[in-house]
């Protein structure tokens, strides 16, 4: 136990897009012992936290508080007094309707040191992502941020409706969705023209962003029809009309498409980042989890005898990872591999191997027999001893072809893939409520595991109107054998190929 009091960092976590976090905020999260976050802060940011950091969710969704503000204050003080540095993440900017000022006052009165890390506020960012600049020389010379939370019927209201109504300011209301009717009525009652443009931007800067535009006269109806709920920014003023010309975020080709990613979580990031950049909203339902083999003995044995081998061939990124994990666990390093030649199936596996300082000698681009034969045709593989660390239950084309060429092949299990059922309820719920536009299958096991998650449900019915996209012919065969007919099959059997084919599919529908 130390006598030191920790520092509390009141951090603006930005409006939602994880890329809008400041560098300083990221550094604070990385260094913190405790991370306290709420509803509006993107959970992706928690990935920056130390492995052993305490992560505490304090909620706050409308009135539904997981912890009351008093309890949050107490928590920050207690943790700091334990000598821990605390990153207190708040949506947007901590001092813009974020009660950051109150938290700072409490910390001050309890002698807890604090720092403030400003963030990108949703009041500016959500309109910006909807193509609405909050100021523009031709339209307005100032902008007001106003709480929409206060009940405008309240007698001692601090709302200056006559001022808002008469000025040409851009008015930005936060926390105002529930009060939209009152806000609009008050502005018109105080003389604001009923044709003043207005927009609501929900979940701004995220893949779920939704924008409704209209005039003071029409907006309430439109919002009701769209069933738009909180959290949203309300922007009122002539700048809103610029959206027609300046919108960009929702023009990206996959914007609004809800796409399920079925790969194991550790492998999903490149697919997610490629699809997200095109505007898609990715829903991670990993159907696979990757684990070390139950019996690591055979892999260890082959590493012990590595001198007897001439070639080491990797068929997947996981094969590389688990091979080297085991090698290092055994107290060895890459020098024991100096005499070997290397081959990798696929460019990503090759890159992973390069992370360990080893350049693959040859590279069959795909698993297909011709590709393997082609790649090894200029190599003397006859009578050579080949080690292939791979998944349990892996496909056999590669060893078969190498054996035909006269090689002596040892296959060893380096990892196992298991069914992951964590996302089952979420998946079924989304499918039943038409919350999914497309599902991606990146291997045969993602298809078969996906189907086992649906258990005794009527898969055909649930997948009606859902686009199914397969990475290649083998995955598609598995799908067909389970009675799913893939709508899309990638032309090039890689993650990029899958993304390109999905994109081509949606572009052809426009
Ligand atoms: N400190 C925050 C605001 C907190 S008040 C900031 O600077 O952004 C909560 C309100 O912020 C919500 O009711 C909503 O009006 C707005 N808000 C926060 N994030 C938003 C987002 N991604 N899109 C639209 N509005 C958002």
Give residue-wise pLDDT tens across range 150-204. 755 666 778 899 999 999 999 999 999 999 999 999 999 999 999 999 999 999 9
- Tokens, residue 236: 């009122």
Give one DSSP letter per residue of 440-468, joined into a string. EE-SHHHHHHHHHHHTTS-HHHHTTT-EE
Tell me the whole-structure pTM to 2 decimals.
0.79
Residue 153: CA count within 13 A, CB half-sphere: 4
pLDDT at 151: 59
- Please give the radius of gyration of the chain, using alpha carbons only, rounded to the nearest integer: 28
Test site for ligand 1: of 120, 233, 235, most ligand atoms within 8 A of the Cβ: 233
Tell me, using a 6 A CB cutoff, whether residue 177 lines ligand 1. Answer: no
Peptide bond into 331 cis (omega under 30): no
Give one DSSP letter per residue of 172-203, joined into a string. EEES-STTHHHHHHHHHHTT--TT-EEEEEES
d(CA 181, CA 404) in angstroms, rounded, equals 76
In the residue annotation, 405 being an active-site residue is answered as no
3-state SS assignment for residue 359: coil
CA pseudo-torsion sign 342, 344, 349, 350: positive
In the residue annotation, 188 being an active-site residue is answered as no
- Tell me which of 17, 33, 60, 321 is the catalytic residue: 60
3-state SS assignment for residue 142: coil
3-state SS assignment for residue 324: helix
What is the pLDDT of the chain when averaged over all its residues? 92
The average pLDDT across 350-369 equals 87
According to DSSP, residue 362 is labeled: B
In the residue annotation, 38 being an active-site residue is answered as yes
For 436-481, write each residue's pLDDT tens digit.
999 999 988 899 999 999 988 899 999 999 999 999 999 999 999 9
Tell me, using a 6 A CB cutoff, whether residue 98 lines ligand 1. Answer: yes
Tell me, using a 6 A CB cutoff, whether residue 167 lines ligand 1. Answer: no
- Which tops the pLDDT comparison, 475 or 510? 475
pLDDT at 476: 96
Tell me, using a 6 A CB cutoff, whether residue 16 lines ligand 1. Answer: yes
d(CA 282, CA 110) in angstroms, rounded, equals 43
3-state SS assignment for residue 168: coil
For 31-90, write each residue's pLDDT tens digit.
999 999 988 777 778 889 998 999 999 986 655 557 888 899 999 999 999 999 999 999
For 368-391, write each residue's pLDDT tens digit.
767 778 888 888 999 999 999 998
d(CA 483, CA 249) in angstroms, rounded, equals 37
Tell me, using a 6 A CB cutoff, whether residue 486 lines ligand 1. Answer: no
| Ligand 1 center to 92 CA (angstroms) | 6
Whole-number percent of the chain with pLDDT over 70: 97
d(CA 497, CA 495) in angstroms, rounded, equals 5
Residues 348 and 317: beta-carbon distance below 8 Å: yes
For 257-267, write each residue's pLDDT tens digit.
999 999 988 77
| Ligand 1 center to 273 CA (angstroms) | 24
d(CA 96, CA 174) in angstroms, rounded, equals 10
Residues 355 and 323: beta-carbon distance below 8 Å: no
For 318-344, write each residue's pLDDT tens digit.
999 999 999 999 999 999 999 999 999
- Which tops the pLDDT comparison, 344 or 365? 344
3-state SS assignment for residue 212: strand
The answer on pLDDT for 223 being more than 90 is yes
Q: What are phi and psi of 8, to 5 degrees?
A: -100, 125
d(CA 475, CA 449) in angstroms, rounded, equals 12
- Ligand 1: which residue has its CA nearest to atom 18? 122
| Ligand 1 center to 91 CA (angstroms) | 7
Tell me, using a 6 A CB cutoff, whether residue 91 lines ligand 1. Answer: yes
Q: What is the largest CA-CA distance in the chain?
A: 92
Tell me, using a 6 A CB cutoff, whether residue 479 lines ligand 1. Answer: no
Q: What residues pair up with 173 in beta bridges, in sequence order?
A: 146, 234
Q: 210: left (phi > 0), else alpha (psi -120 to 50), else beta?
A: beta
Q: Smallest Cα–Cα separation from 388: which of 374, 370, 401, 371?
A: 401
pLDDT at 149: 86
Whole-number percent of the chain with pLDDT over 90: 78
Question: Is residue 142 very low, low, confident or very high in pLDDT (cuts 50, 70, 90)?
Answer: very high
| Ligand 1 center to 111 CA (angstroms) | 30
d(CA 323, CA 244) in angstroms, rounded, equals 54
pLDDT at 61: 60
| Ligand 1 center to 202 CA (angstroms) | 9
- Cβ atoms < 10 Å from Cβ of 122: 29
What angle, rounded to 10 degrees, do the helices at 69-81 and 100-109 form? 50
pLDDT at 193: 97
Tell me, using a 6 A CB cutoff, whether residue 174 lines ligand 1. Answer: yes
Which of 1-5, 470-474, 501-505 is predicted least confidently? 1-5
For 266-324, write each residue's pLDDT tens digit.
778 889 999 999 999 999 999 999 899 999 999 999 999 999 999 999 988 999 999 99
pLDDT at 378: 85
- Tokens, residue 175: 């926390």
Question: Is residue 367 very low, low, confident or very high in pLDDT (cuts 50, 70, 90)?
Answer: low
According to DSSP, residue 2 is labeled: -
- Which domains are assigned to the chain? 8-119 (3.40.1010.10), 124-250 (3.30.950.10), 258-287+420-508 (3.40.50.10090), 291-419 (3.40.50.10090)
For 83-140, write each residue's pLDDT tens digit.
999 999 999 999 999 889 999 999 999 999 999 999 999 999 999 999 999 999 999 9
User: Measured from the CA of 100, which atom of ligand 1 is nearest?
Assistant: 1
pLDDT at 153: 61
- Tokens, residue 409: 């092949």
| Ligand 1 center to 133 CA (angstroms) | 17
pLDDT at 1: 52
Q: What residues pair up with 236 in beta bridges, in sequence order?
A: 171, 198
């Amino acid at each position: 136990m130390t006598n030191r009091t920790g520092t509390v960092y009141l951090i603006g976590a930005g409006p939602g897009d994880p890329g809008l976090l400041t560098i300083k905020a990221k550094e604070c999260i990385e260094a913190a012992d405790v991370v306290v976050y709420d509803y509006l802060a993107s959970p992706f940011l928690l990935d920056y936290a130390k492995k052993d950091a305490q992560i505490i969710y304090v909620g706050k969704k409308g009135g539904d508080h997981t912890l009351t503000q008093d309890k949050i204050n107490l928590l920050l003080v207690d943790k700091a007094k334990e000598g821990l540095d605390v990153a207190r993440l708040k949506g947007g900017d901590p001092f813009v309707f974020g009660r950051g000022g109150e938290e700072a006052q409490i910390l001050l009165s309890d002698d807890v040191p604090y720092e403030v890390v400003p963030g990108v506020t949703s009041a500016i960012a959500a309109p910006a992502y909807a193509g609405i600049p909050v100021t523009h020389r031709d339209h307005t010379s100032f902008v007001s941020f106003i709480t929409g939370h206060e009940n405008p019927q309240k007698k001692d209201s601090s709302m200056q409706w006559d001022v808002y109504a008469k000025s040409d300011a851009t008015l930005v209301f936060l926390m105002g969705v529930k009060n939209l009717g009152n806000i609009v009525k008050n502005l018109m009652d105080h003389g604001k023209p009923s044709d003043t443009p207005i927009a609501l931007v929900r979940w701004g800067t995220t893949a779920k962003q939704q924008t409704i535009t209209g005039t003071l006269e029409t907006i309430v109806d439109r919002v009701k029809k769209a069933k738009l709920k909180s959290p949203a920014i309300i922007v009122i003023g002539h700048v809103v009309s610029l959206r027609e010309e300046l919108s960009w975020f929702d023009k990206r080709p996959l914007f609004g498409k809800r796409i399920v990613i079925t790969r194991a979580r550790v492998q999903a990031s490149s697919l997610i980042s490629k699809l997200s950049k095109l505007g898609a909203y990715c829903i991670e339902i990993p159907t696979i989890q990757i684990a070390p083999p139950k019996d690591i003995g055979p892999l260890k044995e082959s590493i012990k005898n590595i001198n007897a081998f001439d070639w080491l061939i990797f068929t997947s990124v996981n094969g590389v990872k688990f091979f080297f994990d085991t090698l290092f666990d055994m107290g060895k390093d890459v020098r024991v591999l100096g005499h070997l030649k290397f081959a990798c199936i696929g460019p990503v596996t090759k890159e992973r191997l390069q992370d360990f300082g080893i350049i693959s000698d040859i590279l069959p681009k795909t698993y297909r027999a011709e590709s393997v034969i082609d790649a090894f045709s200029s190599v003397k593989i006859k009578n050579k001893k080949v080690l292939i660390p791979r998944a349990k239950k892996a496909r056999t084309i590669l060893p078969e072809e190498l054996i035909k060429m006269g090689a002596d092949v040892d296959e060893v299990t380096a990892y196992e893939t298991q069914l992951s059922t964590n996302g089952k309820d979420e998946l079924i719920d989304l499918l039943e409520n038409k919350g999914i536009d497309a599902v991606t299958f990146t291997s045969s096991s993602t298809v078969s595991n996906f189907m086992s998650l649906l258990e005794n449900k009527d898969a055909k019915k649930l997948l009606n109107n859902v686009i199914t996209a397969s990475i290649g012919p083998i995955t598609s065969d598995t799908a067909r054998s389970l009675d799913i007919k893939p709508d899309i099959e990638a032309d090039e059997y890689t993650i990029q190929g899958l993304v390109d084919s999905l994109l081509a599919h949606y572009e052809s529908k426009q």
